Amino acid sequence: MDSTAETEGVASRDHRAWPFAVQSPESALRRMSRPSGLRLVPTAPSPREASQPRKSSFANKRLRTLADSARRVSAVAFSDYLQLMKLRIDALLLLVAAAGFVATSGAAADLPRFGLLMTAGLLGAAGASATNHYLDRDLDAVMRRTQTRPLPQHRIEPPAHALAFGVGLLGLSLAIAGFGLNLLTAAMIGLGYAIYVGVYTIGLKRTHVSNIVIGGLAGSCPALAGSAAAANSISLPAVLIAVLVFLWTPGHFWALAYRGREDYRRAHLPMLPAVWDDRGSVIAIAGSTAIAALASIAFIWTSAFDAVYLIVAIGSSAVLLGLTVKFLAHPSPETAWAGYRFSGIYLAAILIGMMADAILRIPL
The 10s digit of each residue's pLDDT in 288-319 is 999 999 999 999 998 889 999 999 999 999 99
pLDDT of 11 reads 44
Segment 197-225, tens digit of pLDDT: 999 999 999 999 999 999 999 999 999 99
Q: What does pTM read for this prediction?
A: 0.79
Query: DSSP states of 33-91 as a string?
Result: HS-------PPPPPHHHHHHHHHHHHHHHHHHHHHHHHHHHHHHHHHHHHHHH-HHHHH
Cα–Cα distance measured from residue 314 to residue 320, given in angstroms and rounded to the nearest whole number: 10
Q: In 3D, which of 225, 162, 163, 165 has the Cα closest to residue 191?
A: 225
Cα–Cα distance measured from residue 23 to residue 228, given in angstroms and rounded to the nearest whole number: 110
Triad 204, 131, 182: Cα angle to 5°: 100
Q: Does 51 map to a domain?
A: no
Q: Does 204 map to a domain?
A: yes
Q: Does 237 map to a domain?
A: yes
Q: Which residue type does 183 have?
A: L
pLDDT of 303 reads 81
pLDDT of 63 reads 61
pLDDT, greater one: 74 or 86:
86
Segments forming the whole domain that contains residue 123: 84-360
Q: Does 70 map to a domain?
A: no
Per the prediction, the chain carries an average pLDDT of 86
Helix axes 47-85, 111-135, angle to 10 degrees: 100
Q: In 3D, which of 337, 193, 358 has the Cα closest to residue 256?
A: 337
Q: Does 246 map to a domain?
A: yes
- pLDDT at residue 7 is higher than 50: no
Could you tell me what percent of the chain has a pLDDT over 70?
A: 79
Cα–Cα distance measured from residue 123 to residue 120, given in angstroms and rounded to the nearest whole number: 5
Confidence label for 130 from pLDDT (cuts 50, 70 and 90): very high
Segment 243-302, tens digit of pLDDT: 999 999 999 999 999 999 999 999 999 999 999 999 999 999 999 999 999 999 999 998
How many domains are there within the chain? 1
pLDDT of 51 reads 52
Q: Does 273 map to a domain?
A: yes
Segment 345-354, tens digit of pLDDT: 999 999 999 9
- pLDDT at residue 8 is higher than 60: no
- Burial label, 229 (beta-carbon count in 10 A; 0-12, 13-18, 19+): buried
Phi, psi of 21 (to 5 degrees): -70, 155
Query: DSSP states of 256-321 as a string?
Result: HHHHTHHHHHHTT---HHHHS-HHHHHHHHHHHHHHHHHHHHHGGGSSS--HHHHHHHHHHHHHHH
Q: Does 201 map to a domain?
A: yes
Q: Which 8-state DSSP code applies to residue 148?
A: T
SS3 content of the chain, % helix, strand, coil (to 5): 80, 0, 20
- Rounded to an integer, the average pLDDT of 111-118 is 96
Q: Are 271 and 317 in contact (CB under 8 A)?
A: no
Confidence label for 330 from pLDDT (cuts 50, 70 and 90): very high
Q: Does 2 map to a domain?
A: no
Q: Is 43 left (phi over 0), alpha (psi -120 to 50) or beta?
A: beta
Query: Would you tell me how many other CB atoms lie within 10 Å of the CB of residue 250?
Result: 24
Q: Is 2 left (phi over 0), alpha (psi -120 to 50) or beta?
A: beta
- Rounded to an integer, the average pLDDT of 144-169 is 94
Coil, helix or strand at residue 276:
coil
Q: In 3D, which of 144, 150, 146, 143 has the Cα closest to residue 267?
A: 143
